Amino acid sequence: MIMPDVYHSIYQKLEKMGVLGIKQYAVIMNDPYVPLCIDRLDEVTFAISQNPVVDGVVVADPDIEIKVDTSRKIAEPLTYQDPAIRKVVYTEPGRVNLAIRNEITEFLDNWLTELINQGFKREI
């Protein structure tokens, strides 16, 4: 079971990495790792992805859309995709898939920890 504090944890990790300060688009380079791409989709939504080249084709693996609430200092994933699958938390307005939400939230929290441990941080 995912505890509500995980949404604060995700927000704090995004903040630590410098993601929340991005106004439009940025790439965090950190050799030898695959660069981290960050898109600000709107005022409250970011997409973060790593895009390795597989068999000569650039693929998003993974690509996660995240909604942030700066007043509450929380962030939650909205979608997850990789070359094999796309998962959506809110399947339609007002309807949430809790199993997908919990799965993606846990993945995102762990992935951000891994990125921080690898040294991914936006230099301003």
Tell me, yes or no, whether 81 lies in a domain: yes
Cβ distance 89 to 97 under 8 Å? Answer: yes
Tell me, yes or no, whether 122 lies in a domain: no
DSSP assignments along 35-65, one per residue: PEEEEE-SSSEEEEEE--EETTEE--SSEEE
User: What local confidence, expressed as pLDDT, does residue 121 receive?
Assistant: 93
Query: Per-residue pLDDT for the chain (124 aa), expressed as one digit of tens each?
Result: 555 599 999 999 999 999 999 999 999 999 999 999 999 999 999 999 998 887 888 777 899 999 999 999 999 999 999 989 999 999 998 899 999 999 999 999 999 999 999 999 987 6
Cβ distance 17 to 122 under 8 Å? Answer: yes
Tell me, yes or no, whether 123 lies in a domain: no
Tell me, yes or no, whether 23 lies in a domain: yes
Segment holding 74, helix H or strand E: strand 74-82
User: What local confidence, expressed as pLDDT, does residue 2 receive?
Assistant: 54
Distance CA 103, CA 76 (A): 12
What is the residue range of 12's domain? 5-117
Give the CA radius of gyration of the chain. 14
User: What local confidence, expressed as pLDDT, does residue 123 receive?
Assistant: 77
User: What local confidence, expressed as pLDDT, does residue 54 receive?
Assistant: 78
User: What local confidence, expressed as pLDDT, does residue 98 receive?
Assistant: 95
Domain count of the fold of the chain: 1
Residue 6, CA distances (Å) to 9, 11, 97, 104 in order = 5, 9, 17, 11
Tell me, yes or no, whether 85 lies in a domain: yes
